[in-house]
């Protein structure tokens, strides 16, 4: 799943994994170690899970974006308007902070005041980097013109894809072989 922070990549990747019965790996959980320190094993971990026949994850982190692109069969691009993304990332950040939701490896959203003091606060990051996914997708299309990229420009388009082609893909998969009956 490609998109800016807060666009819904993880939610959709998790759903793809569930529907297709393939592993979903939350790439943030591999990247962030305790105290938000990047994990040294991150690239090796991504190498390991992408060597499986099927997987779903988020297309982020420059150190592995190329590897993910090389091994992907499909990229879903959540190209949502900035206003939608901001509403989603602000709501998610507030919920996580107020409910003290553990994110990855003992990390929590920082105090709300960090929005004013941390230039890389997730809300500020989402605002500042919103335009970059389109540039990355353009480069990806040059690098791998055969790779299918599905652009989903709205929440409605995401829902249509989730409830249409994604569910249809489960109908195309062969049923598991069972005992023969006479």
- Per-residue DSSP letters for 3-61? E-TTSSHHHHHHHHHHHHT--B--HHHHHB-GGGPBPTTHHHHHHHHHTSS--B-----
State how far the alpha carbon of 165 is from the alpha carbons of 124, 160, 171, in Å.
34, 8, 10
Tell me if 181 is assigned to some domain: no
pLDDT at 137 over 80: yes
Q: Give the pLDDT mean for 3-19.
A: 95
Residue 176 domain-assigned (yes or no): no
Asked if residue 173 has pLDDT above 60, the reply is: no
Q: E-assigned strands of 56-181?
A: 74-78, 148-152
Total number of domains in the chain: 1
Share of the chain above pLDDT 90, in %: 88
Quote helix, strand, coil % in the chain, to nearest 5: 55, 10, 35
Q: Quick one: pLDDT band at residue 86, thresholds 50, 70, 90?
A: very high
Q: Is 17 part of a structural domain of the chain?
A: yes
Q: How confident is the model at residue 76 (pLDDT cuts 50, 70, 90)?
A: very high
Quick one: CA torsion of 49, 51, 54, 55, rounded to 10 degrees?
Answer: 30
Taking the whole predicted model, whether its pTM rises above 0.85 is answered as: yes
Q: Is residue 35, in this structure, part of any structural domain at all?
A: yes
174 in a domain, yes or no?
no
Residue 52 falls inside a structural domain = yes
Residue 179: per-residue pLDDT? 43
Beta strands in 23-153 (DSSP E): 74-78, 148-152
CATH of the domain at 40: 3.40.50.300
134 lies in which domain range? 2-169
Is residue 153 in some structural domain?
Answer: yes
Query: Does some domain include residue 137?
Result: yes
Q: How far apart (Å, rounded) are the C-alpha atoms in residues 111 and 73?
A: 39
């Amino acid at each position: 799943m490609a998109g800016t922070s807060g666009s819904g990549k993880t939610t959709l990747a998790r759903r793809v994994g569930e529907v297709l019965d393939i592993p979903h790996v939350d790439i943030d959980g591999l990247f962030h170690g305790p105290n938000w320190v990047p994990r040294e094993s991150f690239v090796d971990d991504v190498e390991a899970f992408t060597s499986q026949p099927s997987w779903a994850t988020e297309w982020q982190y420059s150190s592995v974006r190329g590897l993910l692109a090389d091994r992907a069969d499909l990229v879903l691009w959540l190209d949502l308007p900035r206003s939608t993304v901001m509403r989603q990332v602000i709501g998610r950040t507030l919920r996580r902070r107020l409910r003290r939701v553990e994110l990855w490896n003992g990390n929590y959203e920082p105090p709300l005041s960090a929005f004013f003091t941390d230039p890389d606060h997730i809300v500020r990051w989402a605002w500042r980097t919103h335009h970059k996914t389109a540039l990355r997708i353009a480069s990806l299309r040059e690098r791998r013109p055969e790779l299918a990229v599905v652009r989903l420009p709205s929440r409605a388009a995401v829902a249509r894809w989730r409830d249409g082609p994604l569910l249809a893909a489960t109908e195309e998969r062969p049923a598991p072989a069972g005992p023969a009956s006479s």
